[in-house]
Amino acid sequence: QVQLVESGGGLVQSGGSLRLSCAASGGFISIYVMGWYRQAPGKQRELVATIGGTTNYADSVKGRFTISRDEAKNTVYLQMNSLKPEDTAVFYCNTYPQLYSWGQGTQVTVSS
């Protein structure tokens, strides 16, 4: 059973940047397509970005977010630049499609 622990969230002003990390244990991320998801208050969880042989992004974050992974550290990252208040959400990582239980997520709050 793969366990996923997200970190790196926080409070940032509009236009700021954050780098999220997702540390995996119990399995190797290199064999999966990994994804970052987010859930804003009152909304369904949505897929933000994936990384496998290629990277893919939701239209709402394209050009601002970058997903990457370090297989030696078994960690997936999400670099978020030019943050907007509408990016406020709890961010989670998981495989794509989701195979494992959700972690606790990391809260990202963008103030205007």
Query: Helix %, strand %, coil % for the chain, to 5?
Result: 5, 50, 45
| pLDDT of 106 | 98
Single-letter amino acid code for the residue at 10: G
The tens digit of pLDDT for each residue in 77-106 reads 999 999 999 999 999 999 999 999 999 999
Looking at residue 104, its pLDDT comes to 96
The pLDDT mean for the chain works out to 96
Residue 43's pLDDT is: 97
Model confidence pLDDT, tens digit, residues 1-12: 889 999 999 999
What's the token pair of residue 17? 């940047």
pLDDT in tens, 59-71: 999 999 999 999 9
Position 108 scores a pLDDT of 98
In this structure, which long-range contacts are made by residues 15-18, counting pairs with CB atoms below 8 Å and at least 24 apart in sequence? Answer: 15/82, 15/83, 16/83, 16/110, 17/79, 17/80, 17/81, 17/82, 17/83, 18/80, 18/83, 18/108
Statement: residue 30 has pLDDT above 90: no
